[in-house]
Structure 1
Amino acid sequence: MEQRSHHSPADDPGSSDPRRWRALAVCLIAGFMTLLDVSIVNVALPSMQRGLDASPADVSWIVSGYTLTFGLALVPAGKLGDVLGRKPMFLAGLAFFTAVSVLCAVSPNPTWLVVARLLQGAAGGLLNPQVIGMIQQLFRGPERGRAFGLYGASIAISTAVGPLAGGLLIQAAGVHSGWRWVFLVNLPIGLVALVLGVVCLPRTGPRRAGKGLDLVGVLLLGGAVAAVLLPMIEQEQRAASVRWWLFGLAAGLLACFVVWETLWRRTGRDPLVDLGLLRARSFGTGSAVGSVYFAGYTGLLLVLTLYLQQGHGYSALEAGATGLPFALGSALTSTLGGRAVFRFGRPMMVAGITAVALGLGTTAAVVGHHPHGDIWLYVLGPLLLAGLGSGLVIGPNQTLALADVPPARSGTAAAVLQTGQRIGTSLGTAVAATLFYNRLATAHGDFPHATSHSLYGAAALTFAALTIATADLLVPHRADRIDRAEQRPAPARAQENPRSANT
């Protein structure tokens, strides 16, 4: 059950920092704020349309533009954090995000808001890899599991609480200007987090990088990510012609990226992404599970919100409140899962995904068979089950996936992991929206069955993640080494590792 650590204490300068829990609190506040902006904007879209006289295309890009630039910025930002130091990159990303949030709030027209949202997404992508990299750097052993558990709780809460918070702000400020407060709320949070970040975050020196700046790698990977995300954004927007051929371009760009990174490293230069990360089974499997899982569970709250507002006439506040059981359940088990990941490992994560799949499937069945009355009473139990399961997945999967990643590369590794999650989120949103609207059109406005159909699709994606996780569980693991050339001899003392908890 125990094995020796791959990293010597000298490799972990922040692992015993007495400020690590205060630093974690600052990181979670900042990460929560950027992830909240993904979900809180959805309920404010009707308010934006009225207040700015925005077209449907403008509204679509207000949502999709954030996701696109967020995904594009992640890997370069993670690399910069690894090389230049995470504290300065964290503070720069946080200041940028806070400032651009104000630009969003004061937008005089739709074009201004779309551009500001693109910048806001880039700022969020700059900030988020530093959060996970900081956790990886500051915590070791069971403490890291607890830290990632709290991070998983912040993801779940931001996803579910966003619609509720947006509904409250719009109800308080009015339909025509309430959307501005959805962005202005970031100003006090960002300023407080900046002050706390300067005081509480440890100062870490930059890592000595190899020769050369890998701009070609940035362009190739950025082009590939954009080519994957753009067709899914178009599908979500129900565009007349979706450019699916971009997937072929993405495959070609990724192949070129792999060849380029290999050649770049052979010349003694520092690549954008160490391809050894992808050869480590723990990281590769964790990335796959995370991507497919985010594709599944993301569709739940989106489709349910559409159904309650359009099919039942719920207000934005009422629709947002329906997601609270999921948020509360996930927050509870995320903290417990973070503590238990070193004891139960992958079996616990498989059990969590199973609970999410059952919760999604049950919610789909309930909506399809009980279309009238107070529907929220019928879905409360299944949503709670899905939330309880989700808390055992997100944080533990981060811990398991990054178990063999050296702290010096944790920012890049976290960015690759999050890029997969962003792509999964876009895929899940596109699939859920397509199934919902296509069924709604063929069923002549039958909202319950359109919602049920879409939720079954989300459950199927979650089951795919369950299949990957179960297959990984059944095949014994051997110790992974990200880069043997950079690993020092293991210290004499043993340290528990979550990768060994296979059975």
Structure 2
Amino acid sequence: MTSSSSTLASPRPEADRRRWFALAIVMTAAFMDLVDVTIVNIAIPSIQREAGASFGQIQWITAGYALAFAAGLITGGRLGDIHGRKRLFLIGIGGFTIASALCGFAANPDMLVAARILQGGMAALMVPQVLSIVHATFPAHERGKVFGLFGAVVGLGAVMGPLLGALLTEWNLFGLEWRPIFLINLPVGIAGLVLGRKFITESKAPHALKLDLVGVALVTLGLLMLLYPLIRGRELDWPTWGYVSMAGALVVFAALVAYEKRKTARDGSPLVELSLFKVKSFAAGIAVQTVFGVSLGIFFLVWTLYMQFGLGWRPLRAGLTGVPFSIAVSVAAGISVQKLVPRFGRKVLQAGALTMAAGVLLYIWESERYGLSIASWQMALPLVVMGVGMGLIVAPLTDAILSEVPREHSGSASGLINTVQQMGNALGLALVSVVFFGTMSDHLPAPEIGPAYVDAFQHALVWVAVVMTAIFLLMFALPKRPAQQVEGAEATEELVADFDHEPVAVV
């Protein structure tokens, strides 16, 4: 029996009346994480100036979070399957709140880097539970609407982070400079912890599982061997050990696959559920998600550097410039799942990839034409086009990846989705050293800094356009119609049948 048929045959969960409150809570946590990823970028000049952070430390403040996040996500998803998604969500949001406080009160850049790594690790416990709680709590016919909301939250968080970061940095509350960008998480995290205990329903895998410690060690080691040299490569002038480490990561991942196969045959509780990759929609979607993460990792960082260091804009102006992008992503994400995907299927995602590539090319053209005199309103058109493209991808892609996943593996699948996205993001951050900083000298006289950043921005966007074209081609491997639609249709038919054959209680 295929995974798809297993999913269709599995009993539909009873609708939990508290599920919409639970959704609001986990979505708020997801929003907090998304904001925290992007809010730091806009505050980089302030951190560098007030904390005296070097460029290497600045890189670690952003990439260290992504590295810890990626390394722990699969483990976090599996722990949720074993010990309960609600329990792990609460532990994660509590730890994330504590780590945010440590970031806000960091005494020096090294302490800030360490706190950001801890924050990424706690996010790795919290974030996988979001999708798995949704998958386990909502019946199939409601998940399209829910994933549409999730896509809107992703789009809103992606640009609200820079906007909030700009406002908090500009206001310099209580003379704290950049620190409020982390301290703002404290009331949100505490509220999520209290309300989550009340409204989220516990769920876990139906079969008793054990944590695969060897799998955890191999996944963590492989990701560290791959990402650490990429993050530090340019700073260390690309040493030989870095290439050896990255090649060794492939050997570690091969050993992981072999071990997980044996683990599955022996006791059926592997860390990475390899059977998921036999599901075409999951395997193809994971590939698309990874490459998409690369493009986002490159774009959002170089965009911030371009506006603040290249054009010399203040944080608030840079943050406000991204508002059209945020609105476009949110609107397109909602429409794509509710209206477009049911009618056009995979073509919606492919149109999104081409639309986003077109927006990138338009941005390159405008940047070349207007140079250092470009205005915020002139950036609005390419940003709206890019935002529409991203919105057409982000929500339907998540839906497509999870549509045929058996419910008992939803935590593991969610962890894999987030892991590959963060791996892609970390790869994108690492590639910034090549496609952005690699095009300019380390020692530029003041008059040449602006033009150099503009040229580097255009060069980086060319690579983003290339990546989006590759994503368009990869999407041909996705199913033409997500199986979720079929499942939802059958669920509706079952609901009608139940209505016809069972008495109705009038309240």
TM-score calculated relative to the size of structure 2 = 0.88
**Pair 1:198-2:204 in alignment:** no
User: 8 Å contact 1:5–1:491 — kept in the other structure?
Assistant: no
Task: Identify the residue that residue 386 of structure 1 maps to in structure 2.
Answer: 386
Task: Identify the residue that residue 317 of structure 1 maps to in structure 2.
Answer: 316
Structure 1 residue 206: deviation in Å? 5.7
Q: Structure 1 residues 450 and 375, CA, compared in 2 at 3 Å: closer, same or farther?
A: farther
Task: Identify the residue that residue 501 of structure 1 maps to in structure 2.
Answer: none
Task: Identify the residue that residue 240 of structure 1 maps to in structure 2.
Answer: 237
Select between 283-292 and 194-203 the one with higher mean Cα deviation: 194-203
Q: Which amino acid aligns with 2:393?
A: V
Q: Deviations over 1:76-135 (max 9, x none)?
A: 110011111111111110111011111111112222222111111100111010001011
Q: Which amino acid aligns with 1:241?
A: W
Q: Distance in 1 between matches of 2:24 and 2:491?
A: 30
Structure 1 residue 315: deviation in Å? 0.5
Q: Distance in 1 between matches of 2:278 and 2:5?
A: 19
Q: Distance in 2 between matches of 1:46 and 1:379?
A: 22
The count of residues paired between Structure 1 and Structure 2 equals 478
Select between 52-61 and 68-77 the one with higher mean Cα deviation: 52-61
Structure 1 residue 252: deviation in Å? 0.3
Task: Identify the residue that residue 279 of structure 1 maps to in structure 2.
Answer: 278
Task: Identify the residue that residue 216 of structure 1 maps to in structure 2.
Answer: 214
Task: Identify the residue that residue 500 of structure 1 maps to in structure 2.
Answer: none
Task: Identify the residue that residue 19 of structure 1 maps to in structure 2.
Answer: 18
Match of 2:178, SS state, is helix
Q: Distance in 2 between matches of 1:478 and 1:421?
A: 20
Q: Distance in 1 between matches of 2:482 and 2:195?
A: 41
Structure 1 residue 8: deviation in Å? 6.0
Match of 2:436, SS state, is helix
TM-score calculated relative to the size of structure 1 = 0.89
Match of 2:25, SS state, is helix
Structure 1 residue 389: deviation in Å? 1.4
Match of 2:371, SS state, is coil
Task: Identify the residue that residue 403 of structure 2 maps to in structure 1.
Answer: 403
Task: Identify the residue that residue 505 of structure 2 maps to in structure 1.
Answer: none
Q: Distance in 2 between matches of 1:182 and 1:245?
A: 38
**Pair 1:368-2:368 in alignment:** yes
Q: Structure 1 residues 238 and 362, CA, compared in 2 at 3 Å: closer, same or farther?
A: farther
Alignment of 1:116-135 (within 5 A): 116-135=115-134
Select between 22-31 and 264-273 the one with higher mean Cα deviation: 264-273
Match of 1:7, SS state, is helix
User: 8 Å contact 2:346–2:481 — kept in the other structure?
Assistant: no
Q: Distance in 2 between matches of 1:234 and 1:494?
A: 55
Q: Structure 1 residues 414 and 167, CA, compared in 2 at 3 Å: closer, same or farther?
A: same
Select between 420-429 and 366-375 the one with higher mean Cα deviation: 366-375
Match of 1:178, SS state, is coil
**Pair 1:458-2:464 in alignment:** yes
Structure 1 residue 428: deviation in Å? 2.1
Match of 2:381, SS state, is helix
Q: Structure 1 residues 462 and 114, CA, compared in 2 at 3 Å: closer, same or farther?
A: same
Q: Distance in 2 between matches of 1:300 and 1:176?
A: 31
Q: Distance in 1 between matches of 2:174 and 2:225?
A: 36
Q: CA RMSD in A?
A: 2.5
Q: Distance in 1 between matches of 2:432 and 2:378?
A: 21
Q: Deviations over 1:424-469 (max 9, x none)?
A: 1122223344222222339964332221111111111111111101
Q: Structure 1 residues 34 and 377, CA, compared in 2 at 3 Å: closer, same or farther?
A: same
Task: Identify the residue that residue 47 of structure 1 maps to in structure 2.
Answer: 46
Q: Distance in 2 between matches of 1:8 and 1:149?
A: 22
User: 8 Å contact 1:333–1:392 — kept in the other structure?
Assistant: yes
Match of 1:118, SS state, is helix
Task: Identify the residue that residue 498 of structure 1 maps to in structure 2.
Answer: none
Alignment of 1:164-203 (within 5 A): 164-173=163-172, 177-203=176-202
Q: Distance in 2 between matches of 1:373 and 1:363?
A: 14
Task: Identify the residue that residue 327 of structure 2 maps to in structure 1.
Answer: 328
Match of 1:370, SS state, is helix
Q: Structure 1 residues 282 and 108, CA, compared in 2 at 3 Å: closer, same or farther?
A: same
**Pair 1:449-2:455 in alignment:** yes
Structure 1 residue 19: deviation in Å? 1.7
Structure 1 residue 269: deviation in Å? 4.1
Q: What are the ranges of 5 or more consecutive residues in structure 2 without an aligned counterpart?
A: 485-489, 496-507
User: 8 Å contact 2:41–2:304 — kept in the other structure?
Assistant: no
Q: Deviations over 1:225-273 (max 9, x none)?
A: 11222122124x6432351322211110111001101111211241111
Q: Which amino acid aligns with 2:371?
A: P
Q: Which amino acid aligns with 2:126?
A: L
Q: Distance in 2 between matches of 1:240 and 1:70?
A: 26
Match of 2:243, SS state, is coil
Q: Deviations over 1:43-88 (max 9, x none)?
A: 2222223333333332222222111111111001100111111111
Q: Distance in 1 between matches of 2:29 and 2:186?
A: 12
Q: Distance in 2 between matches of 1:9 and 1:471?
A: 25
Q: Structure 1 residues 105 and 300, CA, compared in 2 at 3 Å: closer, same or farther?
A: same
Between the two proteins, what is the percent identity of the paired residues? Answer: 34
Select between 315-324 and 240-249 the one with higher mean Cα deviation: 240-249
Structure 1 residue 30: deviation in Å? 0.3
Select between 325-334 and 17-26 the one with higher mean Cα deviation: 17-26
Q: Distance in 2 between matches of 1:281 and 1:388?
A: 26
Structure 1 residue 492: deviation in Å? 11
Q: Distance in 2 between matches of 1:265 and 1:462?
A: 36
Higher helix share: 2
Q: Structure 1 residues 175 and 316, CA, compared in 2 at 3 Å: closer, same or farther?
A: farther
Q: Which amino acid aligns with 1:234?
A: R
Q: Structure 1 residues 180 and 309, CA, compared in 2 at 3 Å: closer, same or farther?
A: same
Task: Identify the residue that residue 295 of structure 2 maps to in structure 1.
Answer: 296
Task: Identify the residue that residue 226 of structure 1 maps to in structure 2.
Answer: 224
Structure 1 residue 331: deviation in Å? 0.6
Q: Which amino acid aligns with 1:312?
A: L
User: 8 Å contact 1:12–1:137 — kept in the other structure?
Assistant: no
Q: Structure 1 residues 479 and 166, CA, compared in 2 at 3 Å: closer, same or farther?
A: closer
Q: Distance in 2 between matches of 1:417 and 1:248?
A: 23
Match of 2:382, SS state, is helix
Q: Distance in 2 between matches of 1:169 and 1:467?
A: 41
Q: Distance in 2 between matches of 1:85 and 1:266?
A: 24
Q: Distance in 1 between matches of 2:483 and 2:351?
A: 24
